[in-house]
Amino acid sequence: MNKEHYDMPVVILAGGMGTRLSEETSLRPKPMVEIGGVPIAVHIMDWYSRYGFRNFILASGYMSSYIKEYFANFHLKNSDLEINLATGKIEILDRKTIDWQVKVIDTGLSTNTGGRLLRLKKYLSDSDFMITYGDGLANVDLNRLSSVHLETNAVTTITSVRPPARFGAINFDGHRVKSFHEKPNSSEGWINGGFMRATPELFNFIEGDSSILEHDIFPNLARENKLATHKHDDFWHPMDTLRDKNLLEKMWRDGDMYWADSKI
């Protein structure tokens, strides 16, 4: 376990509406869609916790109250109970102890990804912090990601993965990102898979609520040679559609949980 990670904030961008997964997101925000009965955001947090991270900030927006209620009632949802029906007294049995600090901050319904980070600035301005999306699972080596970030002295270090063609592409030289392009026409190349580390200098590149990490901020960082990447060749999978969700659910049932050592 990396002691450096213990108090480092991990921001999970959890505010989007998830319109391509409307079968699920009409009822709950996308990061709360469940894989194996556990919200995908909790799967992501669990992976970070394996590397010593315990300080999480969920940048919520759409159905923010759903996320707040889930974590406010985490012990009730994840423990056995004894209920005295005469008095209404509830006793939690076999309490599931998880040493996490979780902030759920409403960053606005229509705020874009960069803007959500800017709204969290008061929680993130003292030291480096991690950032990831609330809808993708991976077995990224977070120690190696941090090493690359420190070795390159970058403002932000992203994790590059090889996905289907519908995402933006990254061109790089070693660990330095040379250019950043949105949505290429072919499936070749690498894209940003989330799992990022940043310095507070990142806030200098965010103008306001309308700023988008992929479209506005990362290309500018790349042009100034301040964006680095950790290349991840192993498991990564987004949850953008119902097909993605069903595939991840099948992997969970079959025990092919590349993003977890065991079922949470």
pLDDT at 1: 64
Q: Within a 13 Å sphere around the CA of 155, how many CA atoms are in the beta-carbon half?
A: 19
**Domain ranges (residues) in the chain:** 3-253
Which of 15-19, 174-178, 242-246 has the weakest average pLDDT?
174-178
CA distance 199 to 145: 14
pLDDT band at 12 (very low <50, low <70, confident <90, very high): very high
Q: pLDDT by residue (tens digit) across 206-240?
A: 999 999 999 999 999 999 999 999 999 999 999 99
Q: pLDDT by residue (tens digit) across 109-118?
A: 999 999 999 9
Q: In CATH terms, is domain 3-253 a member of 3.90.550.10?
A: yes
pLDDT at 183: 58
Of 165, 135, 130, give the one whose Cα is nearest residue 236. Answer: 135
- Rounded to the nearest 5 percent, the helix, strand and coil shares of the chain are 35, 25, 40
Q: pLDDT by residue (tens digit) across 167-211?
A: 566 777 888 888 776 655 445 578 999 999 999 999 999 999 999
Phi-psi region of 94 (alpha: psi -120 to 50; beta: other; left: phi over 0): left
Three-state SS at 149: helix
3-state secondary structure labels for all residues of 112-123: CHHHHHHHCHHH
Task: Give the residue-averaged pLDDT of 77-102.
Answer: 87
Range ranked top by mean pLDDT from 81-85, 139-143, 168-172: 139-143
Residue 95 or residue 56, greater confidence: 56
Query: Which residues lie across from 229 on neighbouring strands?
Result: 158
Non-local (6+) Cβ contacts of 48 within 8 A are: 10, 56, 130, 142
Ordered alpha helix ranges (H), the chain = 22-25, 40-49, 64-72, 74-78, 113-119, 121-124, 142-152, 218-223, 242-254
Q: pLDDT by residue (tens digit) across 112-138?
A: 999 999 999 999 988 999 999 999 999
Rg, Å, the chain Cα set: 19
pLDDT at 220: 96
